[in-house]
Amino acid sequence: MSYTKQDLKAQLAQMGITPTDRVLIHTSYKSVGEIEGGPDAFLDAFCEYLSEGLLIVPTHTWANVNRQNPVYRVHETVPCIGLIPRLAAVRRDGIRSLHPTHSVWAHGVGAEELVRGEELARTPAPVGGTWWRFGELGVKILLIGVGLERNTYIHAVDEIAALGRLSDKGEWEVTVVDAAGQEYVHPFRGHANTGSDNFGNFEEAFATLGVMKYARLGDAEVRVVDARACRDVLLAIYSRTDEHLCLTPAQIPRALWEDLRI
């Protein structure tokens, strides 16, 4: 079966997304199935549906901007995370942020405000930065054909909680080059062992508490995560334990979350 833009828009409405919402998408494009018009049409469907809202696409470069290659060029550095991010990064109907390793592409109302200041980011998801703003703005995170292990926003909550395990050993100097060729040079520190491969440990807690619900887009299963609720629940859980909850794959103990309310 193939899907049109109208099919995708109808499914967005069915999952409770409105044209005024701010929506972040992490996408396995192949999981959605055949789209008439291909990946450009896929992105267009979101841009058109969110006519008074905001679409956000991660365009991460953490695999190719590092100590050995410490330069990020906003119009040249290719994302390292998939087809839709690579496509979004070169589209000129939106704006790509200047974060050296965890940039995003934003299209719609408030896009410029969302990404302001990222050229000076010194960690992957600093407090006050773009990823931090998702909780403040009530962004809806769509994990399309992927699991919670792709939910980068959890890194932002970890930074809010100031978890000591987040920083790698030592800073390195990064150079960020904007669209006009201006350079910003500053120290940067990445993440160490965040356990992101095991963020699925929060699946039961998120689904039970209403942080996350399930939907469909094309052929793909979608996890719809409320960023504000995600933040609040995670911070409450973190306040109850000093353990690293994602070192190994295991559901979070119910005692840490079953009495929480969002």
Percent of the chain with pLDDT over 70: 98
Nearest of 110, 78, 81 to residue 94 by alpha carbon: 110
Give the C-alpha separation, 230 to 138, whole Å.
10
Nearest of 194, 192, 187, 191 to residue 122 by alpha carbon: 187
Q: What are the backbone angles phi and psi of residue 183, rounded to the nearest 5°?
A: -105, 140
Is the model's pLDDT at 129 over the cut of 80? yes
Is the model's pLDDT at 248 over the cut of 70? yes
**Which pLDDT belongs to residue 121?**
97
Average pLDDT over residues 177-194: 93
Beta carbons of 144 and 217 less than 8 angstroms apart? yes
Average pLDDT over residues 110-128: 97
What does the longest C-alpha to C-alpha distance in the chain come to? 52
Is the model's pLDDT at 54 over the cut of 80? yes
Is the model's pLDDT at 164 over the cut of 80? no
Is the model's pLDDT at 193 over the cut of 90? no
**Which pLDDT belongs to residue 194?**
82
Q: Confidence band (pLDDT; 50, 70, 90) for 39?
A: very high
Give the C-alpha separation, 28 to 236, whole Å.
30
Q: Confidence band (pLDDT; 50, 70, 90) for 166?
A: low
**Which pLDDT belongs to residue 162?**
87
Which position has the token pair 């887009």? 217
Beta carbons of 36 and 5 less than 8 angstroms apart? yes
Say which range, 42-51, 155-164, 242-251, has the weakest mean pLDDT: 155-164
According to DSSP, the β-strands at 54-58 and 22-27 are: parallel
Strand partners, 106: 56, 95
**Which pLDDT belongs to residue 3?**
98
**Which pLDDT belongs to residue 256?**
98
Is the model's pLDDT at 167 over the cut of 70? no
Q: Which residues contact 12 (CB under 8 A, 6 or more apart)?
A: 45, 46, 49, 217
Angle at 253 between CA 157 and CA 214, to 5 degrees: 65
**Which pLDDT belongs to residue 262?**
81
Mean pLDDT of the chain: 96
Average pLDDT over residues 64-85: 97
Give the C-alpha separation, 108 to 21, whole Å.
10
Average pLDDT over residues 112-130: 97
Beta carbons of 171 and 187 less than 8 angstroms apart? yes
pTM above the 0.85 mark?
A: yes
Q: Which residues contact 260 (CB under 8 A, 6 or more apart)?
A: 209, 233, 236, 237
**Which pLDDT belongs to residue 138?**
97
Is the model's pLDDT at 169 over the cut of 80? no
